[in-house]
Amino acid sequence: MEPEAAKLIGAGIATSGMIGAGVGLGVLFGNYLQAAIRNPSAAASQQTMLFLGMALTETMGLFAFVVSLIILFG
Amino acid sequence: MAEQPAIDPMHQFLIQKIWDGPQFELFGVHFDMSITNSVASMFAGAAILVAFFLLTARGQIVPNRAQAVAEALYNIVDRVLVTPIIGPHGRPYIPYLFTLFCLIFVLNLMGVVLSIGSLAGQTWTFTVTSQLAITATLAVITFFSVFILGFVKHGVRFLTLFAPSGMPKPMLLFMVPIEMLSYFVRPVTLAMRLFGNMLGGHVVLSLFGSFVVALGIVGLAGGLASLAFIPATLSFVMIVALTGLELVVALLQAFVWVALATVYLNEVVNFGHGH
């Protein structure tokens, strides 16, 4: 296989780390919605925590994204 | 058939010189004082911020629209973040966090709505927060100002942050390195998060933009090829939707950055209370 082709395939495979981030974000927002529907009065107070959790979860996906960028352009 | 324009979504992030400045060597380091489009974007962002807050700083009891926006931005930092997370002792740090929030927000917006983009063959402004160099600098400033503040306020005792209390002594051997690693990876994650979000969003926007052009050119050939106008139109709709999403992301990432900075500050300001 040509090195260039292997590089492209590797960059593609590296993005599979985003699967975890996607699942994580789904769990996060799903659970938040469940809790918010059960107890709407407490929902607003937890929004900051929701976005903090989103940021931390999303970072994992972005690490995969950056790794694939490094493979592509590094 | 007309020539296809190259699809090159990374081109928008190129740094170009606008004005050639002096170059010199100092302590063996090469300095280039040229004004690039990156520098110009940051100057423009700072100028927009100063102008906006000078115009809205004269408080009226019934705020006009601009003042309402300014107050809403301030309330995000004060009432949503600092007061609930840190409490009354966090008040001295609000100006710093608010500056950080506004700077990141306006720099994020530069690429979406405030960009004058390319005029006269020159790219004047772009989203500088999609450059890792910029976000890493901001992250280092954010992280180490809090870290140093910890030592200024609490002295060497601040190092007990890495040793969770109530832990059996042998466990500390493992816990301290893990805690230190998870602590010092913070500036890396801060920088990566903003960089990745802004870069990813703008690459996707640019890709859909080039779909519109490429498919539109195919469709111009007439006959059956004009079916290509359908995906071209869909791509254009996607651009509109994604631009809206980018506006939300610009605010959300500035918010997330300051929220994390507030959490880090909370460990320092309320050191020894919360654990």
Per-residue pLDDT tens listing for chain B (275 residues): 445 556 666 667 777 777 777 777 777 777 777 777 788 888 888 898 999 888 887 777 777 888 888 888 888 888 888 888 888 888 889 999 999 999 999 988 887 775 555 555 566 667 888 888 889 999 999 999 999 998 898 888 888 888 877 778 888 888 888 888 888 888 988 998 898 888 888 888 888 888 888 888 888 887 787 888 888 889 899 888 988 888 888 898 999 999 999 999 988 888 877 54
Residues in B lying within 8 Å of A, measured between beta carbons: 10, 80-81, 84-85, 189, 192-193, 195-197, 199-200, 252, 255-256, 259-260, 263
Predicted local confidence at residue B275, as pLDDT:
47
Pick among A29, A50, A62 to test the B interface (most B CBs inside 10 A): A62
Check CB contact of A25 with chain B, cutoff 8 Å: no
Chain-chain contact of B192 with A59 (C-beta, under 8 angstroms): yes
> Residue B138: how many CA atoms within 13 Å on its side-chain side?
30
Predicted local confidence at residue B141, as pLDDT:
92
Bridge partners (DSSP) listed for residue B35? B19
**Nearest by Cα to B198 from B126, B125, B142:** B126
Closest CB to A55: pick one of B85, B199, B260. Answer: B260
What's the fold here for domain A3-38+45-73? Answer: F1FO ATP Synthase (1.20.20)
Residues of B within 8 A of A52 (CB-CB) are 256, 259-260, 263
Chain-chain contact of A55 with B259 (C-beta, under 8 angstroms): yes
Q: What is the DSSP letter of B86?
A: T
In terms of pLDDT, which residue wins out, A37 or B169?
A37
**Nearest by Cα to B129 from B146, B110, B113:** B110
Bridge partners (DSSP) listed for residue B123? B118
Check CB contact of A35 with chain B, cutoff 8 Å: no
Distance CA B124, CA B16 (A): 9
Predicted local confidence at residue B116, as pLDDT:
57
**For the CA atoms of B122, B125, B131, B133, what is the dihedral angle to 10 degrees?**
100
Pick among A48, A60, A65, A67 to test the B interface (most B CBs inside 10 A): A48
Q: Give the type of residue at B174.
A: F
Predicted local confidence at residue B274, as pLDDT:
56
Residue indicated by tokens 């869909």 = B234
Residue A59 has pLDDT above 50, yes or no: yes
Model-level pTM?
0.83
pLDDT band at A69 (very low <50, low <70, confident <90, very high): confident
Check CB contact of A52 with chain B, cutoff 8 Å: yes
ipTM of this complex: 0.75
State phi, psi for B32 to the nearest 5 degrees.
Answer: -125, 110
Residues of A within 8 A of B97 (CB-CB) are none
The token duo for B75 is: 């309330």
Q: Please list the helix, strand and coil fractions of chain B in percent, rounded to the nearest 5, in that order.
A: 70, 5, 20
Predicted local confidence at residue B118, as pLDDT:
58
3-state secondary structure of B221: coil
Residues of A within 8 A of B256 (CB-CB) are 51-52, 54-55
